Structure 1
Amino acid sequence: MTPLIGDGKGRYKVHVIGNSASHSSSSFGARVGTGKSTTGTALAALLGVPYVALDRLYWEPGWKETPFDEFQAKIRKALDQSDKGWVVDGSYSEKGGNMVLEECTDMIWLDPPLLLYFPRIFIRTMSRLFGSTATCSPDCPETFSEVFFSKNSILWWCLSHHWRYRKRGKARLREFGIENGTNEQRRIMRRFGGWGGKLKIWLNDVESMVAGRQKVA
């Protein structure tokens, strides 16, 4: 089995999702440490396609939300920027529709244990709070009160929504799972759980696939 399906014509449109709400109405629900950005950036570099972080398209300065139609237009423009495909990080179906889901050739679900990624969230949040790491979207800073004393705190959001969105991921896997999904026409979804070993192996397989295609070309 090849590490990516593609469209059969050398184009790869990959949707990377994680275990919390990138489409949440809460700004602090937008940033999660399940590894989507790291994996998405690496995968886009290997495939030579644009990396699209939906967080950065959706959030305007000051955590202002982009209206539905405008957000859809931004997504459309991002997906159309290269005829070689794309890698999209995030799931904003409630805010921008199912455009990415409907057009992707591959879906990657990152499902690490909460014990693994919660410390990542804490460290990243502290780094953003003190300005040593770039904000999720331009001019959308963390604040001390929102991190520690708000019901929309990313830390609380992670703990309270992990199982809800993991349940949603399982439902998608039952429908789109690459081995036995109920949607026989679109068995495009892979799950990577555990502590990251299988994900690293898969990325190495993608690298080998790309190298093999380049030799043939």
Structure 2
Amino acid sequence: MKKINVIGTSGSGKSTFSRLLANKLGYPYLEMDAIFWKPNWQESTDDEFFCKLKHSLAQETWVLDGNYSRTTDIKWSNIDHVIWIDYPFSRTMYQAIKRAFIRSVTKTELWGTGNTETFAKSFFSRDSVILWTLKTYKRNRVRYSKILHDPRYRHIKFIRLTSPKMAKKFIEELNR
């Protein structure tokens, strides 16, 4: 287990799990959002994004947190594990709402960009991460379920974690 991509719907707990996993393994933690987003919520072009991603993935080991399906060919060309955080809808929505609320109240800077979430953007905007979670939860589950059996990815070991208890146990049992 040297190159790992943790996937899941927004709010599922990918970042928390990925940081814990990277720390346990002593691997660099890479966050797709940090690679993608620029200051003032400006998006990287695909050329910029792909170049930064390829550079980040040139390391021997890493835990990569994030989806960005258009990067699958880049991320998974030389990967050995994909871990899918697939918690129930109710838990994922609760986590997405809680995170959005805390970030908008504390004005936590995201990804070293100066970007912060606002209450209005998180709860009342078409760009709301909560709305994004609502719209993508079911679609992601269908897509990830298909990917698990896609012959193009038979070089990858897929692990599906369906509860925080299962995720905690997975990390605790590493290197035993």
TM-score by length of 1: 0.74
Shift >6 Å, 4+ stretches: none
- Report the equivalent of 1:213: none
Work out the CA distance in 2 between the residues paired with 1:131 and 1:46.
28
Instruction: Answer yes or no: is 1:13 the counterpart of 2:3.
Output: yes
Instruction: Answer yes or no: is 1:138 the counterpart of 2:113.
Output: yes
What secondary structure is seen at the aligned counterpart in 1 of 2:149?
Answer: helix
Q: Which amino acid aligns with 2:51?
A: A
Note the residue ranges of structure 2 that are not aligned, 5 or more in a row.
Answer: none
Aligned 1:85-104 pairs, distance under 5 A: 85-94=61-70, 96=71, 98-104=73-79
The one of 46, 56, 59 equivalent to 2:24 is 46
What secondary structure is seen at the aligned counterpart in 2 of 1:55?
Answer: helix
Q: Which has the higher contact order (CA 8 A, sep 6+)?
A: 2
- Report the equivalent of 1:37: 15
- Report the equivalent of 1:26: none
Give the alignment's Cα RMSD to 1 decimal.
1.9
Note the residue ranges of structure 1 that are not aligned, 5 or more in a row.
Answer: 1-5, 7-11, 20-31, 176-181, 209-217
| Offset of residue 160 of structure 1 | 2.0
Aligned 1:47-196 pairs, distance under 5 A: 47-80=25-58, 82-83=59-60, 85-94=61-70, 96=71, 98-131=73-106, 133-135=108-110, 138-175=113-150, 182=151, 185-193=154-162, 195-196=163-164
Question: Is the 1:55–1:137 contact (alpha carbons within 8 Å) kept by the matching residues of 2?
Answer: no
- Report the equivalent of 2:165: 197
The 1:135/1:147 distance shift into structure 2, 3 A limit, reads: same
Question: Is the 1:50–1:87 contact (alpha carbons within 8 Å) kept by the matching residues of 2?
Answer: yes
The 1:137/1:160 distance shift into structure 2, 3 A limit, reads: farther
Q: Number of matched residues?
A: 176
What secondary structure is seen at the aligned counterpart in 2 of 1:98?
Answer: helix
What secondary structure is seen at the aligned counterpart in 1 of 2:159?
Answer: strand
TM-score by length of 2: 0.90
What secondary structure is seen at the aligned counterpart in 1 of 2:6?
Answer: strand
Question: Is the 1:72–1:97 contact (alpha carbons within 8 Å) kept by the matching residues of 2?
Answer: no
The 1:166/1:97 distance shift into structure 2, 3 A limit, reads: closer
